[in-house]
Chains A and B, each alone.
Chain A
Amino acid sequence: MDFAIDVRNISKSYGDVVALGNVDLQVRSGSVMGLLGPNGAGKTTLVRILTTLLRPSSGSATVLGYDVVRHARHLRSVIGLAGQSAAVDDLLTGRENIQMAGRLYHMPRKQVQKRAQELLEQFDLVDAADRSVKGYSGGMRRRLDLAASLVANPPMIFLDEPTTGLDPRSRLDLWEVIRNLVSEGTTVLLTTQYLEEADQLADEITVIDIGKVIAQGTAADLKHQAGSEFIVITVREAEEAKRAAAVLEKFADNDECEINEEDRTASIMVQDGASIMVQVVRSLDAEGIVVANMAVRQPTLDDVFLALTGRTAEEAATESEPTEN
């Protein structure tokens, strides 16, 4: 019973369209679950069911012991939701936005004021606290949105694509904020389209595609399925690629080396790219092969998807998108 989230066989359909089909999901208290999938895979539908915004068509789910349908109103006071739409009010100030959320959690006024100040400091929004949100940057809005959803110190928080559309700098900032949250013992369910994000933040990852769970496990598990990391060597001359491949093969997990003569590259799959790279470079040097470029490439969502479903995430997204006009 130490599951913060316990989803049993949940389905949701709109008429004939199945948004979620028989999903099972367990999240341990105090852990971070990453829900990974392309656009339209059903991530948001699942989050909306768990935050009581949608009723499931069948199946049952509990969050922190509360049933999402029968105990919906109790459940709402112990969860926080920060969405991709950044539901902050443009004409209110940052402080007012947080305070309003606190008052709507029915916290006492004094406590709300104290908590708002704490959150503004924690989220580095003190300077902008009393300006209206209209002038905030994209990153500031997301931070404010997150701060407002944390006002009641909920033990469970849902983050629906918290960094989609943010620049790399703001994304790193937001990651830091989320990590601090986790270290305080909050359970987090996070949806994302980026494997890297799930890798950075999540203890466990669930991959969803077309409303179904297709894989579950730690980031390492998934990467293993997708083929770990890649070492990619680019040489000066096309003929040298073959010689390089002969050297590289010895280091590869599966003793295979892929050669691309057009790009003059040779690549291998390895477990721990960074440490092997040193040996690779030494061996190539010993053979007198001139290297133009070398890189360790992390597997992407595409690699995971390709390994799990045989199609890329981009293809999956275009397939599941509703046809327009």
Chain B
Amino acid sequence: MNLPTAANGWRPDPPTPSTPFREAVGSIAYEFRWVITDTWMLAWRMLTHYRRNPEMLMSSVASPIMFLLLFNYVFGGAIGGSSQIVYLDYLVPGVLIQNTIFTVMQSGVGLADDLQKGVIDRYRSLPMARSAVMSGRILAATIVAFITVYITLAFALAIGMRFHGGFWPAFLLPFVVALFSFAFAWFSAAVGVTVRDVQTASSATFFVAIPLTFLSSTFVPIETMPGWLQVVAEVNPITHVVNLCRNLAQGGPLATYAWPTAIWIAVLVFGVGSLATWRFRRIE
């Protein structure tokens, strides 16, 4: 078979003499070979959006700062009045996680937008790794969340927050938050791929993210909640992640919370992530 050759001499891979099995293996190998390059290309596209549209970055940064100010000054006196720890110190890890969830949930909304507008057709007609459309958005959201963590921490330090857990745990904190945001972005992507409608995706985001963050140890100690709600908050994965971050910043046992956090991250990345990828590949 004489292969078509592009005018510039660039030549595509020849089709393999195929059995369905070899073709499937070939597809997966191809996906792995290109997924990193292509993911980076699409993440670059999203980050360029942030650079061209500074309001997008502003709102990602303004909202944690507003939450910090609000909860610390408005609720701080009432909530922190009885506890041992300074409320601001208690609050900061919670706000980091809460904001990271809101930031990465945008990737699902954006994905729904791509699907709705048909931008995806162009990508799907290109010889790129298909999952990169999704992972590109996720990578970009994770990078933005990571940057936001540092800005929020700087602001928190300025208004009086202090680390009490030592240098290395504090150094580790932003990476744990970033890792979690990466994992949670897969959940958001799964929502976006499933609903495929911007409006629905953003309401789903709202109605999932708000209860998930509030019904946890994010803003108030679990012990102050009614008994039945404590049960809910205990099993909420956000509680484990927030507690881990809090102990990284303020000292305290790490392993207790590190294990559940690691398990949740694994479930989100491998379980929910495969589900999202599978749904994405099936789109016609």
**Interface positions of A (Cβ within 8 A of B):** 48, 51-55, 64-67, 70-71, 73-74, 76-81, 83, 85, 87, 89, 91-92, 96, 100-101, 103-107, 111, 115, 132, 148-149, 152-156, 184-185
Beta-carbon contact of B10 and A107 below 8 Å:
yes
What chain A residues lie within 8 Å of B253 (beta carbons)?
none
Inter-chain CA distance A92–B41, complex, in Å, is: 13
Name 19 interchain pairs, CB-CB below 8 A, sorted by A. A52-B125, A65-B15, A70-B20, A73-B27, A74-B12, A74-B14, A74-B15, A76-B125, A76-B126, A79-B125, A87-B117, A87-B122, A91-B53, A101-B122, A104-B126, A105-B128, A115-B8, A148-B122, A153-B10
What chain A residues lie within 8 Å of B27 (beta carbons)?
73
Beta-carbon contact of A156 and B41 below 8 Å:
no
Beta-carbon contact of A104 and B128 below 8 Å:
yes
- Closest 4 pairs (CB-CB, A-B): A87-B122, A77-B12, A77-B127, A153-B6
A53-B125, A71-B15, A78-B12 known; A106 and B34 CB under 8 Å? Answer: yes
Beta-carbon contact of A55 and B284 below 8 Å:
yes
18 additional A-B residue pairs with CB within 8 Å, beyond A87-B117, A115-B8, A152-B8: A70-B18, A71-B18, A76-B125, A77-B12, A77-B13, A80-B125, A83-B122, A85-B118, A92-B45, A100-B41, A106-B37, A106-B127, A111-B8, A132-B52, A153-B6, A153-B7, A155-B6, A156-B4
Nearest residue in B to A134 (C-beta to C-beta)?
B52
What chain A residues lie within 8 Å of B20 (beta carbons)?
70
What chain B residues lie within 8 Å of A53 (beta carbons)?
121, 124-125, 284
Nearest residue in A to B117 (C-beta to C-beta)?
A85
Inter-chain CA distance A48–B118, complex, in Å, is: 12
What is the 8 Å Cβ interface bit string for chain B, positions 175-214, against chain A (1 contact, 0 not)? Answer: 0000000000000000000000000000000000000000
Q: Does B23 contact A (CB under 8 A)?
A: yes
Q: Does B75 contact A (CB under 8 A)?
A: no
Within 8 A of A (CB), among B1-55: 1, 3-8, 10, 12-15, 18, 20, 23, 26-27, 30, 34, 37-38, 41, 44-45, 48-49, 52-53
What chain A residues lie within 8 Å of B8 (beta carbons)?
111, 115, 152-153
What chain A residues lie within 8 Å of B123 (beta carbons)?
104
Inter-chain CA distance A89–B10, complex, in Å, is: 26
Inter-chain CA distance A73–B125, complex, in Å, is: 9
What chain B residues lie within 8 Å of A96 (beta carbons)?
48
What chain B residues lie within 8 Å of A78 (beta carbons)?
4, 6, 12
Inter-chain CA distance A59–B94, complex, in Å, is: 57
Which of A80, A83, A107, A184 has a CB less than 8 Å from the CB of B118?
Answer: A83
Inter-chain CA distance A73–B24, complex, in Å, is: 11
* Nearest chain B CB to A245 CB, angstrom units: 52
What is the 8 Å Cβ interface bit string for chain B, positions 109-150, against chain A (1 contact, 0 not)? Answer: 000000001110111111110000000000000000000000
* Nearest chain A CB to B216 CB, angstrom units: 35
Inter-chain CA distance A65–B34, complex, in Å, is: 24
Inter-chain CA distance A155–B8, complex, in Å, is: 11
* Nearest chain B CB to A115 CB, angstrom units: 7
Which of B4, B41, B52, B122 has a CB less than 8 Å from the CB of A91?
Answer: B52
Nearest residue in A to B19 (C-beta to C-beta)?
A70
Beta-carbon contact of A101 and B1 below 8 Å:
no
Nearest residue in A to B27 (C-beta to C-beta)?
A73
Beta-carbon contact of B23 and A70 below 8 Å:
yes
Inter-chain CA distance A104–B42, complex, in Å, is: 9
What chain B residues lie within 8 Å of A106 (beta carbons)?
34, 37, 127-128
What chain B residues lie within 8 Å of A64 (beta carbons)?
4
What chain B residues lie within 8 Å of A107 (beta carbons)?
10
What chain A residues lie within 8 Å of B3 (beta carbons)?
65
Inter-chain CA distance A90–B20, complex, in Å, is: 40
* Nearest chain A CB to B177 CB, angstrom units: 27
What chain B residues lie within 8 Å of A103 (beta carbons)?
37, 41
Inter-chain CA distance A83–B122, complex, in Å, is: 8
What chain A residues lie within 8 Å of B7 (beta carbons)?
153, 155, 184-185
What chain A residues lie within 8 Å of B6 (beta carbons)?
78, 152-155
A83-B118, A91-B49, A91-B52 known; A101 and B4 CB under 8 Å? Answer: no
Which of B26, B45, B52, B124 has a CB less than 8 Å from the CB of A100?
Answer: B45
Beta-carbon contact of B122 and A73 below 8 Å:
no
Beta-carbon contact of A104 and B41 below 8 Å:
yes
What chain B residues lie within 8 Å of A105 (beta carbons)?
126-128
Nearest residue in A to B53 (C-beta to C-beta)?
A91
Beta-carbon contact of B127 and A73 below 8 Å:
yes
Inter-chain CA distance A317–B164, complex, in Å, is: 71
In this complex, the member of A51, A81, A87, A184 whose beta carbon has the largest number of chain B beta carbons within 10 angstroms is: A87
Beta-carbon contact of A152 and B10 below 8 Å:
yes
What chain A residues lie within 8 Å of B10 (beta carbons)?
107, 111, 152-153
